[in-house]
Structure 1
Amino acid sequence: MKNIIITLIILFSGLGLYAQTLEDYFKIAAENNPGLLSQYKDFEAALQKVPQVSTLPDPSFSFGYFVSPVETRVGPQQARFSLTQMIPWFGTLKAQGDAATLMAEAKYQSFLDAKNKLYFDVSAAYFPLYELKEWIKIEENNIAILESYKTISNSKFKNGNGTLVDVLRVDIMLKEAKTNLAILNKKESPLKAAFNKLLNRVEMQPVVIADSIVVEPVLLDYNKDALAIDHPLLNSIDLKTKASEASERAAIKQGFPKLGLGLDYVSVGERNDMTLVDNGKDVLMPMLTVTLPIFRGKYKAAVKEAQLIQESFLLQKNEIANSLNSNYEMALFDIRQQTDLVSLFDQQIEESRQALNLLFTAYGNSGKDFEEVLRMQQQLLKYDKLKITALSQYRIAMAKLDYITAKK
């Protein structure tokens, strides 16, 4: 019974492992990648800026004690208590709060772009693993075929229907194929490590790779016009521009007077030498303070700074838009190119197999032209590998288009 339970646990663990898809890896990366988590913390930190700049400054409280009491008609002044609250010009706090809020929203858009970029990086690391897995299968199949060719050529040589050169040729190709397979197997470790590090996992943790890739036409939701409408990078620049406009408004208002409301309380002692009305009565004095912003240079500089930053953001937006459009065209070209190559290699593989069958049949009958059989076998091997590479590059190009168009 215990063995059955252990077997079931292993079986279901295996099913869970093989149920993982590229979308599952996207989710794991989004939850664990330290760079992406850092971007989100940056956004959360920016949110904490809002209450800092949109709240009234702290009131000031002062206490003074008269070492030598100041004599007044109603008694000596003994201590003074002062409480003052400065208030910025009307709308200053709101403008500062708007600027901080918009900057936080801009950082969130940067986080979304970082997430899309991470998805592309995961795809760009995933499909080379698919390519490697398929190349290993192809090379293993090639070795098996060459082993059978070696057996046949050996048999024909012993029977006098073949030559020793044929045996040596296939033996040379077999050694080359085994070396290539050994190199491919060694390549898996660095590729797997690079992929797992994007997910913040142990380097050699198993990675489940898809069995096949389907070439699909580019759909209409990859509309180039949508780039300027809802791309996180462009949205981030727009929000930063609005934040700078709010900063400009705040800078203008900071150049206006600030008001201070205060209250002074003076403790007064009683006079013992006479009886007076209000003898020893404490003093309560409301106060109004107004700052005089007569040094205008710093305020003008702050306004000019905000205006120059807005111009900078406008130029950045144009640069990013141009880059996105050019990258869009290149990604679309790559997709179409790899699609055409996959179609071409499918035809080449089919025709090469037909030619190989004909050559092998002729060799079986005559024992001649074994070199042509081997050459055609290597040509077929080349087309098989090129097709897999084209499929891998096709999916990477699709992932790049997803990133450029913010489709994820």
Structure 2
Amino acid sequence: MKKYLIIVLTLSLVFSGNAQTLEDYFQIAAENNPGLQANYITFEAALERIPQANSLPDPTFSFGYFISPVETRVGPQRARFSLTQMFPWFGTLKASGDVAALNAEAQYQTFLDAKNKLYYQVAAAYYPLYELNKWIELESNNAEILKSYKTIATTKFENDEGTLIDALRVDIMLKDALTNLEILRKKKQPLVTLFNKLLDREEKAEVVVTDSLMASNLAINGDSLLTNNPLLDELDIRLEASRKQKVLAEKQGLPKLGVGLDYVIVGKRTDMAVPDNGQNALMPMVTVGIPIFRAKYKSAKKEALLMQESYSLQKKERINQLISRYEMADFDREKYQDLLQLYDKQIAETQQVLNLLLSAYRNSGGAFEEVLRTQQQLLKYKKMKATALMNHHLAVAQLNYLTAKKY
């Protein structure tokens, strides 16, 4: 129990001011997210089943009154008090407690997986905000560049060095850019709301997003994919719990022992004097519960065996899914890393072409349409780079979740 409290206290760090890193947001989400809190409370509730499973059944107390007193040598029996305590067969309570403890441990693994999944969800909501901010920045810069082009084209037209078509063409593209910029700005609030709700914060709470991301050149260590993974550890623990459940079913099918005490109130005889006249009777008792009806015990044992088989198959299926998802996520990570290198080259070369075309246009006044086309191509590559960088980090975040990376 102590180790669980330490982990929870670690998760419940309180940060002052605005969080500046994604890891800070992970901690805030771990502290505030109601779904994760509910998952942990479910684990705490499972812990409370352990003392229930370890406890003896309640003693039985009974009282009987003789409407027609039973005459005995020492007097008539008036009433009877009985107290009985049943004890399950040796080891039954321990087996029951073991099952409850293992089920609680399995629920804790479910909580750990929920925490890892929440971290992935936070990352999956964080990186699109980076992409959007980058697109807004690029579109805003593009609008400013088009305004400068419009000024150049208008000046050349006024000096009879260019055509009106050039000025109109750049004006059309500028209007498109401003409209796109407005749409992108409107898109930000829904993404901010999605992110803040994962942290259980106000919809419009400020989200600080880094203005630059770097692609990771380090391969994710896949060794932990099948080790120390809550998704698999949960099934291992449930498999062990089902083995203990089989032991418990066998123990429950054994006799139950009970001890008790009867106290009988005896009235005095008035017709004659006898030794111990009216002496109340005290009688110790031993009770044996005989499990004659075996069907329920056999059924409980078979249920435990079937659950063992089920958990084994579930684990095999989860392993297959984890390996498949890991390979796809790792492929995506490498794919977007390669695309980032490609886009860097294309951006550099397209910028060179644009500089040459713009210089030629300023000198001769020709090929302005090619200048605009190249400018839009450059914008496209920069946006594709921002999107590839986002997807690269999303793939890394998924790999971190699949390998149960510790933050």
Which of the five TM-score ranges fits, normalised by the shorter chain? over 0.9
Please name the residue that 1:377 is paired with. Answer: 375
CA deviations over 1:235-291 (Å, ceiling 9, x no partner): 000111111111110101111111111111111122222222211111111111112
**1:54 to partner: Cα distance:** 1.4
Please name the residue that 2:68 is paired with. Answer: 68
Match runs of 1:328-339 below 5 Å: 328-339=326-337
For residues 35 and 321 of structure 1, what CA distance do their matches in structure 2 show?
26
Please name the residue that 2:256 is paired with. Answer: 258
Match runs of 1:353-392 below 5 Å: 353-392=351-390
Is the contact between residue 224 and residue 404 of structure 2 (CA under 8 Å) also seen in structure 1?
A: no
For residues 222 and 197 of structure 2, what CA distance do their matches in structure 1 show?
33
* TM-score, reference length from structure 1: 0.94
What is the DSSP-based 3-state SS (H/G/I as helix, E as strand, rest coil) of the residue aligned with 2:275? coil
For residues 20 and 363 of structure 2, what CA distance do their matches in structure 1 show?
50
**1:307 to partner: Cα distance:** 0.4
What is the DSSP-based 3-state SS (H/G/I as helix, E as strand, rest coil) of the residue aligned with 1:230? coil
**1:73 to partner: Cα distance:** 0.4
Is 2:391 the partner of 1:393? yes
Please name the residue that 2:4 is paired with. Answer: none
Is 2:17 the partner of 1:16? yes
What is the DSSP-based 3-state SS (H/G/I as helix, E as strand, rest coil) of the residue aligned with 2:277? coil
For structure 1, which segment, 259-268 or 115-124, has the greater mean C-alpha deviation from structure 2 after superposition? 259-268
**1:233 to partner: Cα distance:** 0.8
Match runs of 1:199-210 below 5 Å: 199-210=199-210
Amino acid at match of 1:16: G
Pick from 279, 285, 310 the counterpart of residue 277 of structure 2.
279
Runs of 4+ in structure 1 off by over 3 angstroms are none
What is the DSSP-based 3-state SS (H/G/I as helix, E as strand, rest coil) of the residue aligned with 2:17? helix
**1:225 to partner: Cα distance:** 3.2
Please name the residue that 1:407 is paired with. Answer: 405
CA deviations over 1:86-130 (Å, ceiling 9, x no partner): 111111111111001000000000000000000000000000001
> Which residues of structure 1 form unaligned runs of 5+?
1-14
The count of corresponding residues between Structure 1 and Structure 2 is: 391
Match runs of 1:116-195 below 5 Å: 116-195=116-195
**1:168 to partner: Cα distance:** 1.0
Is the contact between residue 224 and residue 325 of structure 1 (CA under 8 Å) also seen in structure 2?
A: no
Is 2:342 the partner of 1:344? yes
> Which residues of structure 2 form unaligned runs of 5+?
1-15
Amino acid at match of 2:76: P
Is 2:218 the partner of 1:231? no
Please name the residue that 1:6 is paired with. Answer: none
- Root-mean-square deviation (Å): 1.1
Is the contact between residue 156 and residue 162 of structure 1 (CA under 8 Å) also seen in structure 2?
A: yes
Amino acid at match of 1:77: Q
For residues 100 and 304 of structure 1, what CA distance do their matches in structure 2 show?
19
What is the DSSP-based 3-state SS (H/G/I as helix, E as strand, rest coil) of the residue aligned with 2:290? coil
Please name the residue that 1:33 is paired with. Answer: 33
Is the contact between residue 85 and residue 260 of structure 2 (CA under 8 Å) also seen in structure 1?
A: yes
Pick from 300, 303, 311 the counterpart of residue 298 of structure 2.
300
